[in-house]
Amino acid sequence: QVTLRESGPAVVKPTQTLTLTCTFSGFSLTTGGMCVSWIRQTPGKALEWLARIDWDEDIWYTTPLQTRLTLSKDTSRNQVVLTMTNMDPADTGTYYCARIIRMRHTTEYFSYYFDYWGPGTLVTVSS
Amino acid sequence: DIQMTQSPSTLSASVGDRVTITCRASQSISRGLAWYQQTPGKAPKLLIYEASTLPIGVPSRFSGSGSGTEFTLTISSLQPDDFATYYCQQYYEYLPLTFGGGTKVET
C-alpha cells in the first residue's frame, strides 16, 4: 500500500526558510522509474508543480522558484525533503508531495502523472 | 510553458446528470493528459491518465477523451460523491508540469 505524508511547520515568518519532509511507504526511491514531486495549492495559482526528484538522483525545479528551492532524498528513511528560502505571504498554501512512476507510453514522451498524493500540509507565511 | 485552460470554471448540475468538462492545451500534448478530482480539504485523486485510461478502482461513469489540444472529462451519471473540483494536468512537457485552473461541479 502506497502512502505519502507531508510534515513541517504550519507557520513561518516572511524571509524565513521553510523545510518540509515527505515520508512515504509502499515503494522505494531506488526503484527504476520512481519519482517524488512537490506541488502546492495557493488561492491565487491553483495547483502549481514545484520540484521532482528521481530514482537516479536527477532533480528538477520549476523555473520561477529554482533559486529558492532545494530538494533532497534520504532513501534509507524513505523521505524527501524540500526547502524553500525567503518565504513570502504569497507562498501561503497547501503543500503536497506525490508519487510519479515515470513510464514511456509512447515514443513521444514519458508519463509524469501523480498516482498517489499525501494529504497535504497547510503553510501560512505571516509575521 | 504549456498553458492548460479548463471550461467552465463552475458547473451546476444535479444527481443523474451527464457532465462534461473541457480542457484545452496551448500546444499539442498528444495524449499526455491526466484528470484529478479534489474534494474540500483533501488531496487531488487521479481519475484518468493518458487522456482516457482509468486507474483501477475509478468508477466507469468517468471517461476521458481527446488528443492534441482538446480534451474532455465526462461523468455519465453524476453521483453525490462527484460534487468536487476537477483539474487537468499535462505531462507531455515535464518542465514544468502544468495544471488547468479547475472546474467546480456544484449543485
Query: Residue A126: its pLDDT value, please?
Result: 97
Q: Say whether pLDDT at B14 is over 80.
A: yes
Which of B27, B97, B103, B104 would best serve as a mutation to test chain A binding (most A beta carbons within 10 A)? Answer: B97
Q: Which residue has the cell 500546444?
A: B27
Question: Given an 8 Å threshold on Cβ–Cβ distance, is A111 in contact with B36?
Answer: no
pLDDT mean over A1-30: 98
Q: Phi and psi at residue A40, in whole multiples of 5°? A: -125, 160
Q: How far is CA B56 from the centre of its chain?
A: 17
Query: Residue A63: its pLDDT value, please?
Result: 97
Q: Which residues of A touch B45 (CB under 8 A)?
A: 117
Residue pair B60/B75 in contact by the 8 Å Cβ criterion: no
Query: Residue B66: its pLDDT value, please?
Result: 98
Q: Say whether pLDDT at A105 is over 90.
A: no
Query: Residue A46: its pLDDT value, please?
Result: 85
Nearest CA in chain B to A49: B97
Question: Given an 8 Å threshold on Cβ–Cβ distance, is A49 in contact with B97?
Answer: yes
Query: Residue B78: its pLDDT value, please?
Result: 98
Q: How far apart are CA A31 and CA A25, in angstroms?
A: 13
Q: Say whether pLDDT at A107 is over 90.
A: no
What element of type H or E holds A60?
strand A59-61
> How do residues B18-64 score in pLDDT, each as one tens digit?
999 999 999 999 999 999 999 999 999 999 999 999 999 999 999 99
Q: How far apart are CA B36 and CA B22, in angstroms?
A: 13
Q: How far apart are CA B79 and CA B77, in angstroms?
A: 6
Q: Which residues of B touch A36 (CB under 8 A)?
A: none
Query: Residue A106: its pLDDT value, please?
Result: 84
pLDDT mean over A89-106: 94
Query: Residue B62: its pLDDT value, please?
Result: 98
% pLDDT > 90, chain A: 93
Nearest CA in chain B to A118: B43
Amino acid at A97: C
% pLDDT > 70, chain A: 100
Q: How far is B15 from chain A (nearest CA, A)?
A: 26
Residue pair A94/A121 in contact by the 8 Å Cβ criterion: yes
Question: Given an 8 Å threshold on Cβ–Cβ distance, is A46 in contact with B31?
Answer: no
Work out the pLDDT band at A91, boundaries 50, 70, 90.
Answer: very high
Q: Which of B56, B94, B88 is nearest to A2 (CA)?
A: B56
pLDDT mean over A114-121: 98
Nearest by CB to A63, which of B32, B96, B97? Answer: B96
Question: Given an 8 Å threshold on Cβ–Cβ distance, is A111 in contact with B44?
Answer: no
> How do residues A20-59 score in pLDDT, each as one tens digit?
999 999 999 999 999 999 999 998 778 999 999 999 999 9
> Among positive and negative, which fits the CA dihedral B44, A70, A6, A28?
positive
